[in-house]
Amino acid sequence: MKAITLEQYGDPEELRLVERPQPKVAPGEVLIRVRAAGVNPVDWKLAAGRLDSIMEVRWPLIPGWDVAGVVEAVGLDTEEFAVGDEVIGYARKDMVQLGTYAEFVSASVRMLARRPAALSWEQAAGLPLAGLTALQTLDRVRAGAGDTVLVHAAAGGVGSLAVQIAVARGARVIGTAGERNHAFLRELGAEPVTYGDGLADRIRKAAPAGVDAVVDFAGGTADVSRQVVRQADRVASIVDPDVTGQGGHYVWVRPDAAGLAELAGLADAGRLSVHVDRVLPLAEAAEAWRLNQAGHTRGKIVLSVG
The dihedral built from the CA positions of residue 211, 216, 218 and 224, taken in this order, carries a sign that is positive
| 223 within a domain of the structure (yes/no) | yes
Single-letter amino acid code for the residue at 72: E
Overall number of domains in the chain:
2
Closest CA to 109 of 89, 85, 130, 129: 89
Residue 160 has pLDDT above 80, yes or no: yes
| 33 within a domain of the structure (yes/no) | yes
Q: Are 104 and 177 part of one and the same domain?
A: no
Q: Are 33 and 104 part of one and the same domain?
A: yes
Q: What angle do CA 129, 126, 271 make, to 5 degrees?
A: 95
Residue 133 has pLDDT above 90, yes or no: yes
Provide the pLDDT confidence category of residue 298 given band limits of 50, 70 and 90: confident
Q: Are 136 and 29 part of one and the same domain?
A: no
| 268 within a domain of the structure (yes/no) | no
Q: Are 246 and 143 part of one and the same domain?
A: yes
Residue where a domain terminates, one of 234, 250, 266 = 250
Q: pTM of the predicted model, to two decimals?
A: 0.97
Q: Which residues of 184-220 are buried (b: 16+ CB within 10 A; e: fewer)?
A: bbeebbbebbebeeebeebbeebbeeebbbbbbbbee
Count CB-CB contacts under 10 A for residue 94.
Answer: 7
What is d(CA 157, CA 40) in angstroms, rounded to the nearest whole number? 9
Contact 46, 96 (CB under 8 A): yes
Residues facing 108 on adjacent strands: 29
Q: Are 122 and 138 part of one and the same domain?
A: no
Q: Are 67 and 33 part of one and the same domain?
A: yes
Q: What is the CATH number of the domain that holds 213?
A: 3.40.50.720
| 259 within a domain of the structure (yes/no) | no
The three-class DSSP label of residue 194 is strand
| 212 within a domain of the structure (yes/no) | yes
Q: Are 8 and 112 part of one and the same domain?
A: yes
Q: What is the CATH number of the domain that holds 38?
A: 3.90.180.10
DSSP state of 156: B
Q: Are 135 and 122 part of one and the same domain?
A: no
| 255 within a domain of the structure (yes/no) | no
pLDDT at 169: 98
| 241 within a domain of the structure (yes/no) | yes
Count CB-CB contacts under 10 A for residue 161.
Answer: 31
Percentage of the chain beyond pLDDT 90 is 98
pLDDT at 46: 97
pLDDT in tens, 108-117: 999 999 999 9
Domain holding 240, by residue range, is: 130-250
